[in-house]
Amino acid sequence: MTIYEMEGGRRLEGELSAQGAKNAALPLLSAALLSREVSVLEHCPDIDDVNVQAQILETLGCRVTREGERLTIDAAGAEGFEVPRALMGRMRSSVMVLGALLGRHGRGVIHSPGGCAIGARPIDFHLKAFSDMGVRIDWQQDELTATLDAARDSDVALPFPSVGATENVLLLAAAIPCVTVLRGAAREPEIVDLAHMLCEMGAAVEGAGGDVITVRGTKELHGVQHRALSDRIAAATDLCAAAITGGSLTLCDVNTRHMGSALELLRHAGCAVLSTQDTVWLSAPKRLSGFGVVRTMPYPGFPTDLQAPFLALAAAAQSGSVFIESMFENRFHHVEQLRKMGADIEVQNRVALVRGTNLTGARVQTADLRGGAALMLAGLAAQGVTTVCDAGHIARGYERLAQRWNSLGAAIRVSTGEDLPT
Ligand code: EPZ
């Protein structure tokens, strides 16, 4: 198990470049499966979830090689259509392979997807959309077989702007010689990035970024070279590290248009934040003010993936904040751990009332990816030493987080746990 031991109270300052977006790279890897040619994906972060998705492609017959942040996918031999149960369970985005398998082979076999324990995370929206496209769905215990006998023009409506369901529909629609209209689509930048790649491969995708997307697909999708977006969630988490320590950060290679709500909140808490299209400069006050009321929403609202990191900032602030988690029903696991550090937080259902206070180092346990980042942030500000028992969650989505923050002045020691006092 990975353990991060960190000494708090150190001001972070310096310059970083944003990592590639986990939640863009994952569907882009699935899209590479749609062509029998070679695709090259740049700016793919070297993180566990992306590497597991690459393993899934390999079990399906792709040859995937990594050189730094470049992944080369040769999908010529990808004749497999069943994702192994063990790999399915490793993360949520394994379900996104189903749309690509249907697009490539007209069939796919998956098992219940894994992912952060932040709620039930059903896949009913995905399956309803596929059945509206003519896909037959058969469940046998936890094994799901999807079959597309005859592709047809479809008009599909999502009951909620689900990111994954939107991406799954686009992956199938791009690979069938039909017109698919998707209404109620999610509008996240990662979906626009996927649409760009599908267009580069030969599909016609219009309206991505809005709530109605029209796709004219084709059986003849070709290999491409595509650069993944920068990770807006990891970038905002880096800014939080400077903000919670009264520090300053220059963050390069970001797409600031995708970070509006996070930058606005950091300004509200007292940070000076300047930005151009691809760079953010942040300078934090000695102590942050509270955020007022923060409600997580589908894009372009405040992202649910930043709820935990910003809640950690609120816990160390000099005034109060209220967080309303409207996207997932169980995404406050980090609160109990922050309380071990002295945080004053009350949770009622999807609402967390946070009174800012001084935090003290403690031994804490992560339960999910973004909650783990929140505990690391709290450890940066806490008085004394914090030990974050990670169980690998943080490495799923953040590329060399300890190394990045140590380059800014943090004192984080990474170990496997055997050599640390219990
Ligand atoms: C994606 O998950 C992201 N993951 C999540 O990031 C992110 O939190 C989420 O979108 C919301 O932005 C990836 O892109 C790999 P949803 P996804 O479908 O697609 C419910 C991270 O930390 N729902 O938009 O699973 C669902 O339970 C991760 O990087 C159904 O009920 O999210 C949730 O309450 C965590 N039925 C809401 O919709 C369905 O079929 C939004 O889920 C699908 C979703």
Q: In what order do the strands lie in the sheet with 292-295?
A: 292-295, 321-324, 351-355, 344-348
Angstrom distance (rounded) from CA 287 to CA 419: 34
What mean pLDDT is predicted for residues 215-230?
98
- Rounded distance from Cα 247 to ligand 1 centre (Å): 32
- Rounded distance from Cα 161 to ligand 1 centre (Å): 9
Q: Whose CA is nearest to atom 19 of ligand 1?
A: 164
Q: What totals of helices (H) and strands (E) does the chain contain, helices first?
A: 14, 23
Mutation pick for ligand 1 pocket among 118, 327, 334, 393 (CB with most ligand atoms within 8 Å) = 327
Q: In what order do the strands lie in the sheet with 154-157?
A: 154-157, 179-183, 212-216, 204-206
Q: Using a 6 Å cutoff on CB, does residue 386 contact ligand 1?
A: no
Angstrom distance (rounded) from CA 374 to CA 133: 40
What mean pLDDT is predicted for residues 31-52?
97
Q: What is the pLDDT of residues 341-399, one digit of tens each?
A: 999 999 999 999 999 999 999 999 999 999 999 999 999 999 999 999 986 899 999 99
The answer to whether 271 is a known catalytic residue is no
Q: Whose CA is nearest to atom 38 of ligand 1?
A: 162
Q: Using a 6 Å cutoff on CB, does residue 119 contact ligand 1?
A: yes
Give pLDDT, residue 233: 98
What mean pLDDT is predicted for residues 305-333?
97
Q: Using a 6 Å cutoff on CB, does residue 373 contact ligand 1?
A: no
Angstrom distance (rounded) from CA 191 to CA 164: 9
If one counts every other C-beta atom within 10 angstroms of the C-beta of residue 178, the result is 18
Q: Using a 6 Å cutoff on CB, does residue 159 contact ligand 1?
A: no
Is residue 333 predicted with pLDDT exceeding 50? yes
Question: Considering 44, 62, 116, 389, which one is annotated as catalytic?
Answer: 116
Q: What is the pLDDT of residues 175-221, one digit of tens each?
A: 999 999 999 999 999 999 999 999 999 999 999 999 999 999 999 99
